[in-house]
Structure 1
Amino acid sequence: MITIWHNPRCSKSRMALAALQERGDDPVVRKYLDDAPSLDELRLAHQTLNIPVIEMMRSKDALFKELGLSATDGDEALLAAMAAHPALIERPIVFANGKAAIGRPTEAIFTIL
């Protein structure tokens, strides 16, 4: 099963979803802004991605700065910020085969399929 945390307003997210569908995949689409991941789900995503928490975030987004967040904040603080403000989650994130990848660039999602 393939799941994509998707924001339909994001061109990269739309590109990743289209790429999956063009391959013949029928991913579960989770519009994470409407169905925000819990703190536990974000922790699991972090473990599965196996990247620093800050790389899961849209750290250049105005909201990141408005909230006074910093790359030096601890992992739990950053995860909690994403749980409270899902717009901070980098997009898209694709999960498949017990792995995860952020679709920036879109081709990165194919490394887990």
Structure 2
Amino acid sequence: MITIYHNPRCSKSRECNVFLEASDKDVTVINYMQTLFTFDTLSEVIKKINIAPIQLVRTNEKIWKDTYKGTEMSDPEIIEAMVSHPKLIQRPIVVNGDKAVIARPLEKVQEIL
């Protein structure tokens, strides 16, 4: 089962969603702006991508610059910030079993299919 964590307002996310829907794979689409991540789910996704939490943060977003930039934050605090403000999460995220990628560029999806 493949899961795409998708923000329909993002063109790269929409492009990835179309790509996955055209594949022969069973795909679950989660609009993470409506179905919010829990701390545990987002932590698990980060482990599957094999990155530090800060690498999943969209640091150019206004909320990050205004609220968090320049502050010393632990990994759990960074995850909490993303859970509280899902706009901060890089997208799209594609999960396949115990592997996941931030699908930017789209070709990154091939690494886990």
TM-score range, shorter chain: over 0.9
Q: Give the unaligned 5+ runs of structure 1.
A: none
| 1:62 equivalenced with 2:43 (yes/no) | no
| 1:38 equivalenced with 2:43 (yes/no) | no
Q: CA deviation at 1:68?
A: 2.4
Q: Which residue of 2 is the match for residue 29 of structure 1? A: 29
Classify the secondary structure of the residue corresponding to 1:37. Answer: coil
Q: Give the unaligned 5+ runs of structure 2.
A: none
Classify the secondary structure of the residue corresponding to 2:30. Answer: strand
Tell me the TM-score normalized by structure 2: 0.92
On the 8 A contact 1:42/1:79 being kept in 2, the answer is: yes
Describe the superposition over 1:4-39 as per-residue Cα deviations: whole angstroms up to 9, x where unpaired: 000111001011111112222341110001011100
Look up the equivalent residue of 2:27 and give its one-letter code. P
Q: Which residue of 1 is the match for residue 110 of structure 2? A: 110
Tell me the TM-score normalized by structure 1: 0.92
Say what the alpha-carbon RMSD is for the aligned residues.
1.4
Q: In 1, Cα distance between the equivalents of 2:110 and 2:58? A: 22
